[in-house]
Amino acid sequence: MDKTLEIELTEIRPKVLATALKFFRASRLDGDPEDVVQDVLLRLWVARRDGVQIRSAEAWAVSTTKNSCISLWRKKGPVRSGVYPEWLSDGKDASTLIEQSEAERMADKALERLPAGTRRLLQLRATGLSLDEIAAITGRTKGGVKSSISAARQELMKTFNTK
């Protein structure tokens, strides 16, 4: 884990949150400004991981926050998560696909039953972030992140184990 990045995320977070809050107030946009903050910090994390040259992380984050706010405002609705990768349906017959699609629907339902914040933690983890990085992005403690992920996995395990 890059300690510098963790510190950078923590330091930039208040500025990003203030920029998002300002927009949510002015536009009366429904939703949680925290989602924009996490989106922007995740983008910064990805940019750093990919070696993108950023002269001023704060200026970059504020600019990205503005873009993210407008993007959200234009959509004015929940962002649909990605579709299942194509390889899942490769070489399957119709009955298997129906069965599989039913299993996917059940999986989606199981995930939807989790609180949105917890679901977000699982997704951040699946994106490849460490617990420290998730903590910096979400503004939670590392211990809190870990116990939430563990509890969510145990919960999902119960759902998937009965099928």
Partner 1 sequence: MDRKDLIRLYLDAETTCEQEQELAASFATTPPADEEEMAVYKMMLSVRPIELSELPEAGAEYDRMVKPAKVRPFFTWGLSLAGVAAAITAVVLFTGQPDRPGIPATPQNDYTKLIQQIAFLSNFNPAEAENLEFKPVGDGFVMTAHFPDGQTASYILTPLDGGKSFNLVALNK
- Residues in contact with partner 1 by CB under 8 A are 22-23, 25-27, 39, 42-43, 46, 63-64, 66-71, 73-74, 79, 81-82, 84, 88, 103-104, 107-108, 110-111, 122-131, 146-147, 149-150, 153-154, 156-157, 160-161, 163
Instruction: Tell me whether residue 55 or residue 163 sits nearer to partner 1 (CB atom).
Output: 163
Q: Give the shortest CB-62-to-partner 1 separation in angstroms.
A: 9
Phi/psi-derived region of residue 82, left when phi > 0, alpha when psi is between -120 and 50, beta in every other case: beta
Query: How far is Cα of residue 123 from the mean position of the Cα atoms in its chain?
Result: 5
Instruction: Tell me whether residue 37 or residue 129 sits nearer to partner 1 (CB atom).
Output: 129
Q: Give the shortest CB-124-to-partner 1 separation in angstroms.
A: 7
For residue 93, the 8-state DSSP code is -
Instruction: Tell me whether residue 7 or residue 88 sits nearer to partner 1 (CB atom).
Output: 88
Instruction: Tell me whether residue 7 or residue 157 sits nearer to partner 1 (CB atom).
Output: 157
Q: Give the shortest CB-142-to-partner 1 separation in angstroms.
A: 10
Phi/psi-derived region of residue 80, left when phi > 0, alpha when psi is between -120 and 50, beta in every other case: beta
d(CA 130, CA 45): 11
Q: Give the shortest CB-105-to-partner 1 separation in angstroms.
A: 10
Give me Rg for the CA atoms of the chain.
18
Instruction: Tell me whether residue 10 or residue 60 sits nearer to partner 1 (CB atom).
Output: 60
139's CB contacts (< 8 A; 6+ apart) are: 13, 34, 37
The SS3 assignment for 3 reads helix
